[in-house]
Amino acid sequence: MKVIPVMVPKSANPIKYLIDKIKSEGLVGGFVIGIGTFKRAKIGILKNGTYDVKEVRGRENYMLEVTSLLGNYMRVGEDVSIHLHVTLTSSHNEALGGHLVEAEVGALLEVALIEVGDLSEVFAHRVKST
């Protein structure tokens, strides 16, 4: 097991940034944890087998605080499958969370990639048949 600390920069798309980092580091499979801020995010909540996606933004020039970013990643051929969930809080002390579909980093996003190896057997449902 190894841990790769990652600082996702302001205004970056965190999903794309992490996928690129996983590829450049040659990582195979592991877990993601993180904290920071988002300017905006699209969060999905599973409803009847599909995601109901809502976009959320900070109000009155406030950022959305990322109080928890959790998930996992694995290689699928040359691609990376990443599955992230997030809990966000707003300036009005509201908490919301769900499947992270898209986001834009606010001031920063601090992430740890925890490499554990091949996860394709455990998460076989995410490996597409050829």
pLDDT in tens, 79-130: 999 999 999 998 888 899 999 999 999 999 999 999 999 888 888 777 764 4
Write out pLDDT tens, residues 34-91. Answer: 999 999 999 999 999 888 999 999 887 889 999 999 999 999 989 999 999 999 998 8
Would you list the domain boundaries of the chain? 2-117
Please tell me the pTM assigned to this model. 0.91
What Å distances lie between residue 66 and 60, 69, 99, CA to CA? 17, 7, 13
pLDDT at residue 128, rounded to an integer? 62
Closest to 96 (Cα-Cα) out of 65, 71, 50: 65
Instruction: Say whether domain 2-117 belongs to CATH 3.30.1330.80.
Output: yes
